[in-house]
Amino acid sequence: MRNTTASLAIAAGLVLCAAAAQAQSPGKLAATLPESGPLPRVTMERLLLIDASRQGSRVVAVGDRGYIVISDDDGKSWRRAKSPAAPLLTAIEFLDAKHGWAVGHDSVILATQDGGETWTQQFAAPAEQRPLLDVIFVSKDTGYAIGAYSAFYETGDGGNPGTRAR
């Protein structure tokens, strides 16, 4: 009888742990995250953000599942930017208050011309399996992205890699 009771207690504990893990899973978060617009504090507390850039009081951050979020009040409230589906974004850089770029896995490069409100994909090379880890632009046209496994991209037209060095 004791072994049966102990086994049932352990099984019940495992079921509860599994249910709690499922409730915390990224899939659940993705299902509740709006495509754009305001984000509740509880949602922000669960996002994995990797990098951020500040222009005045505006903060734009990037992270897991290609999420890009914006705060115009020094992080007190956040909203999701309009952006294409993307993998993990690892770095973000703004040249000025309007022009910015984000890079990430699948060698993805995203760009904005409106301060981070909307983003477009300029490049991706998922077959290469080389994540981009940082980006810098020295002008609206000239920029560089670097990443794992000798990934290096250079552009002279604002984001579409024209040359690539290994």
C-alpha–C-alpha distance, residues 111 and 120, integer Å = 5
What would the CATH number be for the domain defined by 35-165? 2.120.10.30
Average pLDDT, the chain: 83
C-alpha–C-alpha distance, residues 11 and 5, integer Å = 10
- Strand ordering across the sheet containing 109-112: 89-94, 100-104, 109-112, 120-123
pLDDT of residue 166: 44
0.85 exceeded by the pTM?
Answer: no
SS3 120: strand
C-alpha–C-alpha distance, residues 26 and 48, integer Å = 10
Cβ atoms of residues 121 and 79 within 8 Å: no
Per-residue pLDDT tens over the stretch 46-80: 999 999 999 999 999 999 999 999 999 989 999 99
C-alpha–C-alpha distance, residues 23 and 29, integer Å = 9
Work out the pLDDT band at 133, boundaries 50, 70, 90: very high
Q: Which residue has the tokens 């915390």?
A: 24
